[in-house]
Structure 1
C-alpha cells in the first residue's frame, strides 16, 4: 500500500497506556528515580542556605514613593497587583520569566524574580499606612521549598535543583524594605471583608489580565459579595490606567537605568557593524546581525527590550520586520531597530539605517538626510511645556516638504498637510514618538490628554523616530526610490533646560556614520 493510501488510524501506535492520567504524561520524560531510598538520600546532606540579609537596594525608596502615590489616588480600597505567572513557550517549557511592568515598578523587582507573586496594598486609616500613606503594602510570593522536600529536586518549574536559588522572604524584605508573606495566605488577604463599600465591605481594584488565578479569585469574591462585575471591571481599568500614567515621569533612579540600557545598546550597534562583513557572506545575513546584537544584550543587560528589527533592502520598508531571514547586499541599506533591556527591565529603543558596504549612494543619502532633518526638527520642537504631539507635527512637516520638493506628492503641500489630506503619510504611516521605560512602548494605557495631548515635563523619556519607506512595489514613486527604507530613532530625556539625546553617542550624520563604520572596519569598508 502506498503512503497516500494509508488509513489515518494506521498512523497511530497501539494504545498501551489507557490508564495513565493525562496530567501525568509530562512525567514520562524526566525518568526520575522514585524509590524510598532515593527520596531519603536526597533529603539529607545539604549545606544550609545562606541567611545573610542583603543591603537595601537603591530602588527601594523610589518604589516606596511610587506606592505612596498610588495609595493617595485610591484611599480605602484594596489594590491587587500581580506579577504574573510563567508563560508556556512549548509544552512543558516556559519563556524566560518577566514580571508585569506595573508590578515591577511598584516593587523594584526585576529580572526573573518571584513568578506568581502578588503585591497587595491594604487600606488603613488615612495617613496611618506606609510612609504616611493610606495603605500598607505586602508582597505575597512562593518561597523556595526546603532541600528536604521532593519539590527541591522533582519540580522542574519551581525546584531549586532545576532553577537555582532565590531570595527568602526575609531577604526580599531587607532588599526592598517591603513586608512579605507566603503566597498561601493570598486568598484570605484578598477576600477578607471584601464587598460593596456602600454597605461596609472593602472594595477591590485589580490589575487584570496579568494572572488568571488572581482574576478568578477576585471575580469569585465579587460574585459572592454582590459586587456589580461590570462596574468593578471599569474600576479595575482605572487602576491600570493610573499605573501606566505613574510611569510618564521617570525618577532619578529610572533615568540611570535608561542611560545604562542606552549605553549597552550603543555597544550592540558597534558589534553589529563589526559583524557586517561576515553577514554579507551569509544567506541569512539579517540573522547574523540579529544574533550579534542579541549576544551583546545578554552580555551587558538582561535581554532584548523587544524583538530586533534587522531589515535590509526592501525589508526595511516593512515597519515591524522581525523575521530577519534576508541577505545583506552591498549597495543596499540595513535598518537596525534594537534595544537592550537592563536587569532592572528598563529598555532602550534606537534605530540607525546603515549603508551595508559603508557608503551611502546619492539617492540613499538624499532620503537619509530628509529623515535626519525631520528628526532634528522634532528634537527642536521638544521643549518643556510643549505638547507631546507637537514633536510629530514638526517632524512630518519636514518630511512633507521634502516629498513636495521631490515632486512625489499628488497634491499641493498645503493640501497634503491639511487634516483632510495627509497624502505624505503614505511614506511615513507611524507616529514619530512614544514614551519609553520598562515597556518599549511605555505608558500605553495612559489617558490621551496625558499622553498625546500631554505637556512635555522634566523626567519624561521618549523616542523621536521619523522615517520614509518607499516599497519596491510602490508605483507612486520613481524607480530610483523603490526599496529604500530609512528610519532614525533616538531616546530623549526631557530636562528643565530642554531635551537631551541619550543616544547621541551613536553617529547620526551620514558622513559620521560612514566614518564610524570605516573606523570599526579599519578601512573604507568597501
Structure 2
C-alpha cells in the first residue's frame, strides 16, 4: 500500500508532538486531545482578515411588550433588594456532549427569551434610590441583562470556543442584539461580579440579594460569596430568602396574559399536527418491532419542525404499557387489538408547551369493552370540566373526576366497598386504578408553577387567565388480580388543556377529537391520507 504521508508530514507530526501537553495536563483540558486545532500565530493573524459582516438581524420580540409589567410586579414584592435570575448553563449529556440548551423558566418568563443563545446570561433587578423621581412614580427596580459578548470573527474565540464561537455555533445574539430584542439594558457578563456586590450590606439603606438558586450553580456560588462577605452568613436564612423569590416567580405565572394564551394556542395546534402524523403512520407500523418508537419519531419530528421541540418526553404506550403512567422507553410493539395511549406536547419557540393525551384503538374501532372503559374516563373528564368554574379549586376538579371513576368501578364490581367509603380520605380504594392527580397548571413548564404554595395552588380559587389540564384515567395493570382477566393490561387517559375565562372554562384543545365516534373517524381519515401518500 502506498504511504500517503510525506516526509514533511512526519516532520510536522514531530513538531506537534514536541508541543503536546505532559502528564500534568488538567483533566478538563484533555477533551481537546481528540483533535489537532490550529494555534499558530500566523493562523491567528490570518483568521482576522477577509470576513464579511454576519451580524444577526435583531428585532423586538413580541414578548417584550409584556416584560415591563411582569418585572414591575416582581420588584414590588421585593422592594430594596437585588434580585438575580440566571438563565443557567448547558447540561452535560455525556463527556463533552451537551443537551440542547433551554433557559431556566423564571429567566424565560422575565426576559421573554427562549432561544439557545443566552446560556450563562443573568437577569439582575437593582433597587432604585427611594428618594428618586422614578421611585416617587412607583418604580422599584431597574433591570439589567448580563450576557456574553458575541464571539464573532473579530475575536479568537470565534474559532477557539466551541460553546460560544460563531465558527462553531453560527451567529448568535450579543449585547446589542439582546437589548434590541428585549428592551432591557445589557452588560458584559464579565461585569456581573462587581454588579452583584454593589451596596450590599446589613446596615440601613444597604441592599440584600436573592437568587433563583437552582438555575445556575456558578451564579449561586457568586451570590453566596457576596452575601458572606457583606454580613449575610446564615445559609439557612439565605436559602429561605431565595426560596421566596422562586415561589413568587412560580405563582406569578399562574395567570396568563394575552401573549401567553396565544402561545399556548400555537402549541396546541402544533400538537394536533403531531397527533395527525402519528395516526397517518399508525397503520404502517402495526405489529412491527419497536413500533412505539416509530410513532414517537413521527411526533417528535413535527415538534422540531413546528416548534422548539418537545415540552416533555413523548409517551407512546401500547397494550400492557398503557397502564404505566410515565412509560417513556417506547420500545414496545403496537399490536392489533391493543389500546394505544399517547401523551405528547409540542413546545413552541417561546417555550410554552401543550400537554395532550389521547387513547386510541389500534385497529381503528373500539370494542364494546374498550368503549365502556373509555366512556367512563370521558365522563370523568367532563365532570371535572363542569366543576371548573371561576371560584372553584383544583380540589373541586379532582373530586368531581374521582366520583365518576369510583362509581363506575363499583358498578362494574371491581370496587368492592361503598362508593362513599372509597371517596372518603380514610378509604381511597378506588385510587388503586388512578393513583395520580387529574389537573395541573400548564405554561412554560408542563407542570407549571410547581414551586407555588399549596394555598396558592390546590387550595386556591381558579381565576380567569389560568391554564390547566384535566386528565383522568383508568390504569388496569396486566398483573392486577383484582380485575377481570379481559380488563388487565388496558390503560386509558384523556387529557385536555383548559383556559379559565370570565365566563367559565374553555377547552383550548377542543380541535383534537376525543368522542368515540370522532376518534374512529379521525383515525380513518388519517389512515386514508397515509395510504394515498
Question: Is 1:129–1:136's contact at 8 Å kept on the other side of the alignment?
Answer: no
Distance in 1, matches of 2:360 and 2:461, equals: 34
2:91 paired residue number:
87
Question: Is 2:287–2:336's contact at 8 Å kept on the other side of the alignment?
Answer: no
Aligned partner of 1:24 among 15, 26, 29: 29
1:375 is paired with a residue whose SS is: helix
- Please show how residues 88-487 of structure 1 align to structure 2 within 5 Å: 88-126=92-130, 128=134, 132-196=138-202, 198-227=203-232, 228-487=234-493
Distance in 1, matches of 2:250 and 2:111, equals: 15
Distance in 2, matches of 1:131 and 1:62, equals: 19
Task: Note the C-alpha offset of 1:398.
Answer: 0.5
Distance in 1, matches of 2:22 and 2:288, equals: 48
Distance in 2, matches of 1:238 and 1:380, equals: 34
Once structures 1 and 2 are overlaid, which stretch shifts more, 450-459 or 516-525?
A: 516-525
Question: Is 1:68–1:130's contact at 8 Å kept on the other side of the alignment?
Answer: no
2:123 is paired with a residue whose SS is: strand
Question: Is 1:130–1:136's contact at 8 Å kept on the other side of the alignment?
Answer: no
1:317 is paired with a residue whose SS is: coil
Distance in 1, matches of 2:29 and 2:111, equals: 36
Question: Is 1:68–1:131's contact at 8 Å kept on the other side of the alignment?
Answer: no
Aligned partner of 1:512 among 511, 514, 518: 518
Task: Note the C-alpha offset of 1:410.
Answer: 2.3
Distance in 2, matches of 1:449 and 1:140, equals: 35
1:62 paired residue number:
66
In structure 2, do the counterparts of structure 1 residues 217 and 130 end up closer, same or farther at CA, with 3 Å as the change threshold?
farther
Q: What do residues 227-263 of structure 1 show as CA deviations (whole Å, max 9, x unaligned)?
A: 1221121111000000000000000000000000000
Task: Note the C-alpha offset of 1:98.
Answer: 0.4
1:116 is paired with a residue whose SS is: coil
Distance in 2, matches of 1:441 and 1:306, equals: 10
2:13 paired residue number:
none
Once structures 1 and 2 are overlaid, which stretch shifts more, 138-147 or 165-174?
A: 165-174
Question: Is 1:130–1:137's contact at 8 Å kept on the other side of the alignment?
Answer: no
Task: Note the C-alpha offset of 1:523.
Answer: 9.2
Distance in 1, matches of 2:56 and 2:314, equals: 40
2:146 is paired with a residue whose SS is: strand
Question: Is 1:518–1:524's contact at 8 Å kept on the other side of the alignment?
Answer: no
Distance in 2, matches of 1:111 and 1:403, equals: 47
In structure 2, do the counterparts of structure 1 residues 125 and 524 end up closer, same or farther at CA, with 3 Å as the change threshold?
closer
Distance in 1, matches of 2:43 and 2:113, equals: 36
Question: Is 2:55–2:171's contact at 8 Å kept on the other side of the alignment?
Answer: no
Aligned partner of 2:500 among 494, 497, 504: 494
Unaligned runs of 5+ in 1: 1-15
1:122 is paired with a residue whose SS is: strand
In structure 2, do the counterparts of structure 1 residues 130 and 303 end up closer, same or farther at CA, with 3 Å as the change threshold?
farther
2:5 paired residue number:
none
Distance in 2, matches of 1:477 and 1:130, equals: 68
Task: Note the C-alpha offset of 1:282.
Answer: 2.4
Distance in 2, matches of 1:364 and 1:427, equals: 16
In structure 2, do the counterparts of structure 1 residues 505 and 305 end up closer, same or farther at CA, with 3 Å as the change threshold?
same
Distance in 2, matches of 1:522 and 1:278, equals: 11
Distance in 2, matches of 1:337 and 1:70, equals: 34
Task: Note the C-alpha offset of 1:407.
Answer: 0.7
Q: What do residues 339-371 of structure 1 show as CA deviations (whole Å, max 9, x unaligned)?
A: 000000000000000111111121111110000
Task: Note the C-alpha offset of 1:219.
Answer: 0.9
Task: Note the C-alpha offset of 1:522.
Answer: 2.2
Task: Note the C-alpha offset of 1:200.
Answer: 4.3
Distance in 1, matches of 2:137 and 2:42, equals: 53
Query: What is the aligned residue count?
Result: 508
2:39 is paired with a residue whose SS is: coil
Alpha-carbon RMSD:
1.7
In structure 2, do the counterparts of structure 1 residues 20 and 51 end up closer, same or farther at CA, with 3 Å as the change threshold?
closer
Once structures 1 and 2 are overlaid, which stretch shifts more, 125-134 or 368-377?
A: 125-134
Distance in 1, matches of 2:137 and 2:312, equals: 36
Question: Is 2:376–2:408's contact at 8 Å kept on the other side of the alignment?
Answer: yes
Q: What do residues 365-394 of structure 1 show as CA deviations (whole Å, max 9, x unaligned)?
A: 111000000001111111111112111110
* TM-score (norm. length: structure 2): 0.93
1:38 paired residue number:
43
Distance in 2, matches of 1:135 and 1:160, equals: 34
Question: Is 2:280–2:529's contact at 8 Å kept on the other side of the alignment?
Answer: no
